[in-house]
Amino acid sequence: MNKKIILILMVLLLVGSVTAYTIGQTVTQEQFDNQTFDSISKLNPSQTNQYLDRSRQRVFTEFTYDSLRWNDKNQVWVIVQVQDFVTYHLNEWRSCRDTNTVDECKVIALQTIRERGKSKLNDELAWLKKQQTQDFDEMENILGDIFAE
């Protein structure tokens, strides 16, 4: 029994240390430009919490994903873990229950929450693609032409 517990703790420690190494790692602009942001699985999304807020009549589903943020001080991109959430309003549940069974509404609610989460992740991918410097290089050429005689 003790060996199983120690083995589980060692695996968790290994996973935690790998994650700790990745988060905070820096990427140069050239490395960033060579990345392809084509799939939300590259962001490594993970659901972290789900709770009901009775005062606002919403279900909140929290999730995290890996992304990159620019660090002006060091002039590099830093791998960060972003925490975000999606909501599902209880009025949506009640409207569904007017015409469907509980099981059908569970499927619809989960599908809606997944779609909203995927939408946020796709927005993040689109933002990352826009940050690649091909567009900035083109703009730099245009600005150079404006002041040329």
Contact 80, 69 (CB under 8 A): yes
Residues spanned by the domain of 83 = 26-146
Contact 26, 74 (CB under 8 A): yes
The answer as to whether 2 is a domain residue is no
Q: What is the pTM of this model?
A: 0.73
Q: What is the largest CA-CA distance in the chain?
A: 81
The answer as to whether 10 is a domain residue is no
Contact 40, 118 (CB under 8 A): yes
Q: Which two tokens stand for residue 25?
A: 């790692």
Structural domain count of the chain = 1
The answer as to whether 4 is a domain residue is no
Burial class (CB in 10 A: 0-12, 13-18, 19+), 86: buried
**pLDDT of 20 above 50:** no
Give the least confident one: 14-18, 57-61, 121-125: 14-18
The C-alpha R_g of the chain, in whole angstroms, comes to 22
Residue closest to 87 by CA, chosen among 64, 112, 122:
112
For the segment 90-127, what is each residue's pLDDT rounded down to a tens digit?
999 999 999 999 999 999 999 999 999 999 999 999 99
